[in-house]
């Protein structure tokens, strides 16, 4: 399949998990892919060797670094923002600096990356942000700040879709439920509790999310914008 031949893509947060699956998928389908990482140098280098993509160390918590990375990788046909961190626990006890950093990575990076990409993105460009089912539903205690960051993606997509629609650029949010990654392993202590909220009671695989991202990033999805795409086994139902 070559849906992305001659397309230039950047995946922010591509060294592991969902982002790495997106890097693989876009590269397999012909895109010229750059991806960023922060801490996982070995995983990033291995993925670059495997896929032919270019790995760039760039901390998504650093606004200037995000903007510079997007500028250097552009002009982009496809921007996918998957970098994310999860800080959960008692809101009265959590370290405020950790919450600020989560907001930097989960909210400010997607916003500034999307705006910077839009400066030079051609007609038909695609912006896809990985939100979360927790943007719609937070069925347990301790997730207020994380949910805040993922609900923020919804407003951002709606607004940017209006800004960029006249140029034929789409902006969508993919909202996974539990997906088997380092962030949320299928054999983790919270797995059974999460499955109890779901119609399909299992973790998803990163590849399943990458399929949806690739469709949203493809030419076929040109009339799809400001969408919130649940891929969550019915978690939010």
CA distance 132 to 142: 15
Residue among 5 and 207 whose Cβ is closer to ligand NAP: 207
Q: In this chain, which of 4, 37, 229, 235 binds ligand NAP, going by CB under 6 A?
A: 37
Residue among 71 and 168 whose Cβ is closer to ligand NAP: 71
| Residues between 158 and 187 that touch ligand NAP (CB under 6 A) | 176, 178-179, 181-184
Q: Is 16 in the site for ligand NAP (CB under 6 A)?
A: yes
Q: Is 74 in the site for ligand NAP (CB under 6 A)?
A: no
**Which x/- pattern, by CB under 6 A, does the window 119-138 give for ligand NAP?**
-----------x-x------
Shortest Å, Cβ 32 to ligand NAP: 19
Q: How many residues bind ligand NAP (CB under 6 A)?
A: 30
**Which x/- pattern, by CB under 6 A, does the window 53-72 give for ligand NAP?**
------xxx-----------
Is 37 an active-site residue? no
- Catalytic residue annotation: 146
């Amino acid at each position: 399949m070559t849906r992305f031949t001659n397309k230039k893509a950047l995946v922010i947060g591509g060294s592991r998990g969902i982002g790495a699956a997106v890097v693989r998928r876009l590269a397999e389908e012909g895109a010229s892919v750059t991806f960023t990482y922060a801490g996982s140098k070995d995983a990033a280098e291995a993925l670059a060797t495997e896929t032919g993509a270019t790995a760039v160390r760039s901390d998504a918590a650093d606004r200037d670094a995000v903007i510079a990375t997007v500028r250097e990788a552009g002009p982009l046909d496809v921007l996918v923002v998957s970098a994310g961190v999860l800080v959960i626990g008692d809101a009265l006890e959590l370290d405020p600096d950790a919450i600020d950093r989560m907001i930097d990575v989960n909210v400010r990076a997607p916003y500034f990356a999307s705006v910077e990409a839009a400066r030079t993105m051609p007609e038909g460009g695609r912006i896809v942000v990985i939100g979360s089912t927790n943007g719609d539903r937070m069925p347990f205690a301790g997730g207020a700040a994380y949910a805040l960051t993922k609900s923020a993606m919804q407003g951002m997509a709606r607004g940017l879709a209006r800004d960029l629609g006249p140029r034929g650029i789409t902006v969508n949010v993919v909202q996974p439920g539990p997906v088997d990654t380092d962030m949320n392993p299928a054999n983790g202590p919270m797995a059974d509790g999460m499955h109890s909220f779901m119609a399909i009671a299992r973790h998803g695989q990163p590849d399943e999310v990458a399929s949806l991202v690739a469709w949203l990033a493809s030419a076929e999805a040109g009339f799809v914008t400001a969408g919130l795409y649940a891929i969550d086994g019915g978690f939010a139902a």
